[in-house]
Structure 1
Amino acid sequence: MLTFAAASLVLIMIPGPDQALITRNSLVSGRRAGLLTMLGGVLGLSVHVGAAVLGISAVLLASATAFTVLKVVGAVYLVWMGIATLRSARHTMKESTDGDTWDRGAKGRKNLRHGFLSNALNPKVALFFVTFLPQFLPTRGSVMLKALLLSAVFAAIYLLWFSLYVLTVDRLGRWLRRPRVRARIEQTTGLLLIGFAARLAFQSP
């Protein structure tokens, strides 16, 4: 269990689309938005957990067509989010000359959807639960219960890590939310999302 927890933490800490979105939403709309994006990410993970337990993910990864459809949809979504973030950066840069008009009102469902789709449409997450998780499952006994337990541990570590991450971003928020600084971060985030989309598009099962 400790080995699984340590490996999971390392994997969660590796920068990905969900971290980029959590960072962006935390800066633009505050702590609540970042936490809701994180919660959406966990819900997206739960889709792959359920699919892996039921064996659907194995079928998905065995089907080149199904895998391609999912990764194309995921890549298109990330490109769309990347472009939206770049446009937001341009608007933020304009605030630096027109005055800071940043709106703290977070649209909860939108942030939740961002996190959910970033993981639910990512076939690499399905690949993780199909290839990584079985290495820690027993060869006999209740495999399903152990799989659900390990998945719950992974989700708990995800929530803990990103909660601390969001709080850190929020603590540095006064400096990070200066229009020019926030615009640069949004530009970087937008380019990263497009880069993640390109990498996902060339991902093979």
Structure 2
Amino acid sequence: MNSFGIYNFGLFLAAVLLLNATPGPDTAYIVGRSIAQGRSAGLMSALGISAGCCVHAVASAVGLSAVLAASATAFMLVKLAGGAYLIYLGIRMLLAKPAADNVSTAHADVRPLRTIFWQAMLTNVLNPKVVLFFLAFIPQFVQADAPHKTLGFLFLGLAFAFISMGWNSGTAFLAGTLARRASNNPQVRLWLERFVGTAFVGLGVKLALARP
């Protein structure tokens, strides 16, 4: 790692674990999909979000994040797009009709796994706070005069994505298990979806109002 200029890697790993433990839009999406569709959907959400982290890692490595953060117009467009997308997802969950029985509940708000993957990826990619995080956080662990610092940024970004995948997979498994136990009670499941939908709308509004 010396040629990459990476230092304090242990501290980096500890900080990433703490950051992943803080609930945010990514966690809300994973929990929402796990509740609505089970553990497989939650795990696919975790995979999509990790793919989004890889996009940010590559963008940071080539300097796109710096350009985005320096442009107030670009930041505003991404911020509004990300916030609107989360609000849209939350409203869909809030407006979902209650199921008449267990069979209809099982098919309520069911989406193909491929769709879930891309929605989760967009949730992460369109979050400007993640862009700024990669811009502000990762450079602290790469020496400015390193001969291959671009590879250092990329390595740390991919390490972040890998750790996030592990944490988010555990979140999806736990949420999916709890949702499965609640599946015999459609009313409980409905209120869980209402709760997550409200969280989505709140996070979307907060994201849209975030200052650069």
Q: Tell me whether the two structures share a fold, i.e. TM-score over 0.5.
A: yes
CA 1:194/1:49 → structure 2, altered by over 3 Å: closer, same or farther?
A: same
Contact persistence 2:44–2:113 (CA under 8 A) = yes
**Alignment match, 2:10:** 2
Query: Match for 2:171 among 165, 180, 198?
Result: 165
SS in 1 for 2:95: helix
Q: Which residues of 2 match residues 69-108 of structure 1 at below 5 A?
A: 69-88=77-96, 91=97, 94-95=98-99, 98-100=100-102, 101=104, 102-103=106-107, 107-108=112-113
Which of 135, 140, 149 is the aligned partner of 1:130? 135
1:149 is aligned to 2:151: no
Higher alpha-carbon deviation: 64-73 or 163-172? 163-172
1:106 is displaced (CA, Å) by 5.0
Structure 1 unaligned segments of length 5 or more: list them.
none
TM superposition outliers: structure 1 runs of 4+ over 3 Å:
none
Whole-angstrom CA distance in 2 between matches of 1:79 and 1:173: 22
| Structure-2 change in CA distance of 1:176 and 1:2 (3 Å) | farther
Is 1:121 paired with 2:126? Answer: yes
Do residues 53 (structure 1) and 55 (structure 2) align? Answer: no
In the superposition, the TM-score normalised over structure 1's length comes to: 0.91
**Aligned sequence identity (%):** 38
Matched, 1:183 2:190: yes
| Cα offsets for 1:107-152 (capped at 9, x unmatched) | 1111112211111111100000000110011233221222122112
Q: Is the 8 A contact 2:60 2:66 kept in 1?
A: yes
- Uncovered stretches (5+) of structure 2, i.e. residues with no partner: 1-8
8-17 or 118-127, which moves further after superposition? 8-17
Contact 1:30 1:106 in 2 (8 A): no
Distance 2:174 2:197 in 1: 21
Q: Is the partner of 2:144 in helix, strand or coil?
A: coil
Query: In the aligned structure 2, how far is the partner of 1:76 from the partner of 1:106?
Result: 20
Determine if contact 1:18/1:41 at 8 Å carries over to the other structure: yes
Letter in structure 2 aligned against 1:135:
Q
- Counterpart for residue 193 of structure 1: 200
Q: Which of 101, 109, 112 is equivalent to 2:114?
A: 109
